[in-house]
């Protein structure tokens, strides 16, 4: 088990990397990046005595990245969450590293696990936060691919209909967001001969309406529930559809994507409504991964009482909000209280996830085999 943490900070400071590494973002040479990344890596090594974690550092010419990443798989994609802060809280640093990893992997798409625009979603189709947080931040060539997004609780505080409509797609063709949807992708490699039916299926779900607190009469914030209809009917329908789709799926790998945590040792922790209503469906239908955001950290949890691997990638901008060490039964395999994202590479018989921070370090790897 590996836990990367930082000392507690005040609310005014939370979310920023230490000032000693801020020069990385605007530097013209590779030297500041090498110095900063090496320093951070050294600190992490001290923190990780007794833990098995491989650290890889960019040296200015990406040689560390080449050594860290695996051979090209039939499917490669990135996952980032909780990012939309108009470039602030090191969002642009994370975006830079996403661009580099995306280029080396030749990614097929990007998954956004919600809280796309802070603090309260978008006000409408012409809200400048869309361009300032998305179009003008994720400018790397490798990131000019399809983005598949779900809504987070902060998105529900704004105009949810504009995010799931086509107005934003007309402004930036990469944008695709729905409350819930499915996606299939072939895992057949060029070397496969004859008929190949191997594929992964993604099931994107709308988690915010599950949380009771958001519907409480004492809730001071206004959530945009337009288009849902009666809450219980909406939730029942979504659960029935998810169970039916998973049950009928013959995919080689099954991945469910949502915003809220199921299992987490971050600031928000477990989402009890998700444990009660969603987790039994995932376990019954042999789901391999549940990928989420909400907690502003990177986590890999695999408990002995569940077959599902829980992956949190909610560190796209504001972070450093606290991470519990937890007990052995919590199943924390890896946790990082800082900014970053994950990359996923898939083949018919293998799946690999790498956890990356905002300085280009590869912090943890997960390998699964079929």
127 is in an annotated binding site: no
Active site residue 268: yes
B/e letters for 161-200, b = 16+ CB within 10 Å, e = fewer, are ebbbeebbeeeeebbbbebbbbbebebeeeeeeeeeebbb
Widest pairwise Cα distance in the chain = 61
The answer to whether the beta carbons of residues 92 and 134 sit under 8 Å apart is no
Q: What are the strands, taking DSSP E only, across 92-242?
A: 109-112, 147-149, 175-177, 181-186, 199-204
Residue of 104, 154, 260, 268 marked catalytic: 268
Count of H-run helices and E-run strands, the chain: 9, 15
Cα–Cα distance, 367 to 89 (Å, whole number): 31
- Is the Cα dihedral 165, 170, 173, 175 positive or negative? negative
82 is in an annotated binding site: yes
Burial class of 219 by CB neighbour count within 10 A (0 to 12, 13 to 18, 19+): exposed
CB atoms closer than 10 angstroms to residue 29: 8
285 is in an annotated binding site: no
Residue 121 Rama label (left phi>0; alpha psi -120 to 50; beta): left
Cα–Cα distance, 218 to 212 (Å, whole number): 11
Cα–Cα distance, 146 to 56 (Å, whole number): 28
Catalytic residues: 268
Which residues are part of a known binding site for Fe cation? 82, 115, 118, 153, 259, 294, 296
Binding residues: 82, 115, 118, 153, 259, 294, 296
């Amino acid at each position: 088990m590996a836990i990367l943490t930082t000392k507690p900070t005040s609310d005014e400071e939370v979310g920023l990397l230490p000032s000693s590494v801020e020069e990385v973002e605007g530097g013209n040479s590779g030297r500041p990046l090498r110095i900063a990344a090496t320093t951070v890596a050294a600190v992490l090594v001290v923190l990780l005595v007794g833990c098995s974690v491989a650290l890889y550092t960019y040296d200015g010419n990406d040689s560390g990245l080449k050594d860290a990443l695996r051979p090209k798989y039939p499917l490669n994609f990135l996952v980032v969450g909780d990012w939309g802060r108009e470039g602030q809280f090191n969002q642009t640093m994370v975006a830079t590293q996403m661009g580099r990893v995306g280029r080396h992997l030749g990614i097929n798409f990007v998954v956004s696990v919600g809280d796309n625009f802070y603090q309260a979603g978008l006000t409408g189709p012409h809200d400048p936060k869309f361009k300032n947080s998305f179009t003008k931040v994720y400018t790397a060539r490798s990131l000019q691919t399809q983005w598949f997004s779900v809504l987070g609780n902060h998105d529900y505080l704004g105009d949810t209909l504009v995010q799931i409509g086509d107005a934003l797609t007309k402004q930036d063709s990469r944008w695709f967001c729905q409350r819930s949807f499915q996606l299939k992708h072939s895992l057949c490699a060029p070397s496969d001969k004859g008929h190949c039916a191997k594929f992964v299926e993604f099931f994107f779900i709308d988690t915010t309406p599950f949380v009771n607190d958001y519907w409480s009469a004492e809730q001071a914030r206004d959530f945009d529930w337009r288009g849902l209809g009666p809450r219980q009917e909406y939730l029942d329908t979504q659960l029935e559809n998810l169970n039916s789709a998973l049950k009928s799926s013959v995919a080689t790998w099954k991945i469910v994507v949502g915003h809220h945590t199921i299992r987490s040792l971050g600031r928000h922790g477990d989402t009890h409504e998700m444990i009660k209503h969603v987790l039994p469906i995932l376990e019954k239908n042999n789901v391999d991964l549940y990928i989420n955001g909400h907690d502003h950290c990177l986590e890999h949890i695999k408990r002995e009482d569940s077959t599902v691997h829980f992956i949190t990638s909610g560190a796209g901008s504001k972070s450093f909000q606290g991470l519990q060490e937890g007990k052995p039964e919590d199943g924390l395999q890896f946790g990082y209280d800082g900014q970053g994202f994950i990359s996923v590479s898939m083949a018919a018989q293998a799946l690999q996830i790498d956890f990356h921070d905002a300085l280009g370090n590869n912090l943890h790897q997960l390998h699964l085999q079929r």
